[in-house]
Amino acid sequence: MAKNTFTLTDNRNGKSYEYDVLSGTRGPDVLDIRTFYKDSGMFTYDPGYTSTASCESKITFIDGENSELRYRGYDIRDLAGKKSYLDVCHLLMMGKLPTEEESKDFDLEIRHRSFLNEGIIRLFDALPDGAHPMATMGAATMALSAFYKDHLHLEDEEQFKTMRRRILAKMPTIAAMAYRNSIGTPLIYPDVNKYFTENFLYMLRAYPNGSMKYLGDGKNDEIKQVEVDALDAILTLHADHEQNASTTTVRNVGSTEAHPYVAIASGISALWGSAHGGANEKVMDQLKLIGDVKNVPTYIAKAKDKNDPFRLMGFGHRVYKNRDPRAETLKLLQDQLREELNLDSKLLDVAAAVEEAALSDDYFKDRGLYPNIDFYSGVILTALKIPVEMFTPIFVIGRIPGWISQWSELKQDPTAKIARPRQLYTGK
C-alpha cells in the first residue's frame, strides 16, 4: 500500500527519519508513523486529532472541501429518500445493498427482534421520573450486555450477525419506551406488522387501546406515509459519518475487548454532548430564544460581534468547509413537508428567516458557515411532532448501523491494537 516515502528531519541534531506514505482509494495520503516514537523518542502532538488517521476503513468517505459523503461508495444523495433506511443498514453492515428478497428477509427479521426482554423494561422503573431519554437509553443498552453476555468473542459468523441485527432492531423500542417512561405514559410494545420507522412513530404516539393520539395534544394523529418517509431519510442521513467523536469512542472501547453493547452504550454517552448529537436540541432552543422573525437581524448582528458570546447554532461544520451534503437533502425535505403537511408554524418561519439572513450575509459565506444537518433536522423533527428531548435519541437510532459496522471492522482487523494515545506532560 506504500506509495512513496516522507522524510522528517530533526533540526536539533540533523537526524532524519523516513516513513511510508500510504494512499487510500480516496482522500489525503497518510504518513505511517507507527514507529516514530521507537525511532526518535518523540510523540506527535495533535489535540482533537485534526490531522490524525486513527484507522483504516472501507465504510464511509467524506470530502469536506467538496461536500461529499459516501456510504460504501454510494453518494448519500442517491440513498436518502431513494432507498429505505433498512436497505442502507444492510449496505453498511453487510457491505452491499440487498436484493429484493434479502431486503424482505432483513426487514422481517428486524421486526421480530424488536421486542425487549421484560427484565430490561423493568429497569426503566428504577430510573427517576423525568429522566432524559438519553440517560435511560444508555442504561438500557448497557444492560443488553447482561442479557446477551455470550457475545464477548463472537467467533461464530451466525452469532456475529445476530448480535449486530439484534441491537439495530431493539434501539427504536428502547428509545420510544425511554421517552414514554420519562413522562409516565404506558409503554407500547412493537407491532410486527409495521415497518421499522412507522413502528417507532407508533410506539411513540399510540395509547394502549391502539388508538393513535399525539401525546402532546390528544388530537387524532394517524401516521402518514410522508412522515415515515421523512424520518426514514433522516435516519439514513445519520447512519454513519466516518471517525467522529462517538464513532471513535465506540472503536476505542471496542479495542479493549469490551462487550459490543458496552461499546455502543459508550457511543450513546459521547453522542449526547451538545457539541455532537445534542446540537439539534440547541438549535431549537435558540430558535425559541429568537422568538420572532422581526428579531432575526438583531441575533445575526450578535453572532457577527466578536465581543458577544452569542453563537448561531446549526451553522458550520468541523469537516465540511463548504455545504453539508446532508443539510442540502434535508432542506429539500423540509420544503416538501411544509407543503404536504400544511405546516405554518412560527418556529419554522423564524428558522427560514435565520437561514435566509445567514446565506445572504458575506460574513457567514466568507467563513463557510452554511446550515448543517443539525439546523434542518431539528426543524423537521419538530414538524413531525417529535418532542425535543427525543432529537438525540433519534440520532442514536440512525447511527446504530454505522457504529456496529465500525465495531465489526475493528474486530476483523488483524492489526488492531488497544487505543492508547500519549500526552505532552506539563505538570510538576
> DSSP characters for 35-100?
THHHHHS-----GGGTT------SSEEEETTTTEEEETTEEGGGTBTTB-HHHHHHHHHHSSPPPH
- 164 is written with which cell numbers? 449486530
- Is residue 257 pLDDT above 70, yes or no? yes
- Is residue 392 pLDDT above 90, yes or no? yes
- 309 is written with which cell numbers? 458570546
Kindly report which listed range (28-32, 252-256, 279-283, 357-361) carries the lowest average pLDDT score: 279-283
Rounded to 5 degrees, φ, ψ at 178 are -60, -40
Q: Look over the chain and give the mean of its residue pLDDT values, rounded to a whole number.
A: 89
- Is residue 221 pLDDT above 80, yes or no? no
Q: What is the mean pLDDT of residues 45-60?
A: 92
Of the pLDDT bands very low, low, confident and very high (cuts 50, 70, 90), residue 347 is: confident
Of the pLDDT bands very low, low, confident and very high (cuts 50, 70, 90), residue 374 is: confident
Say if residues 397 and 175 touch (Cβ distance below 8 Å): yes
Where are the domains positioned within the chain?
2-53, 74-269, 279-383
Q: Residue 161 has what pLDDT?
A: 87
- 187 is written with which cell numbers? 409503554
How many CB atoms sit inside 10 A of residue 68's CB?
16
What pTM value is reported for the model? 0.90
**CATH of span 2-53:** 2.20.28.60
Of the pLDDT bands very low, low, confident and very high (cuts 50, 70, 90), residue 117 is: very high
Q: What is the mean pLDDT of residues 393-416?
A: 94
pLDDT in tens, 183-203: 999 999 999 999 999 999 999
Label residues 200-234 b or e (16+ Cβ within 10 Å = b).
Answer: bbbbbbbeeeeeeeebeeeeebebeeebbbbbbbb
The topology under which CATH files domain 279-383 is Cytochrome p450-Terp; domain 2 (1.10.230)
1 or 388, higher pLDDT: 388
Q: Give dist(CA 8, CA 36) in Å, integer.
A: 10
The secondary structure of 189-238, three-state, reads CCCCCCCHHHHHHHHHHECCCCCEECCCCCCECCCCHHHHHHHHHHHHHC
The winner for highest mean pLDDT among 144-148, 335-339, 379-383 is: 144-148
Q: Give dist(CA 280, CA 277) in Å, integer.
A: 7
Q: Residue 351 has what pLDDT?
A: 86
Residue among 265, 199, 207 nearest 228 (CA): 199
The topology under which CATH files domain 74-269 is Citrate Synthase; domain 1 (1.10.580)
Q: Residue 1 has what pLDDT?
A: 44
Residues classed as catalytic: 317, 374
Q: Is it true that 2-53 and 279-383 share their CATH fold?
A: no
Which residue has 433506511 as its cell numbers? 85
Q: Residue 2 has what pLDDT?
A: 44
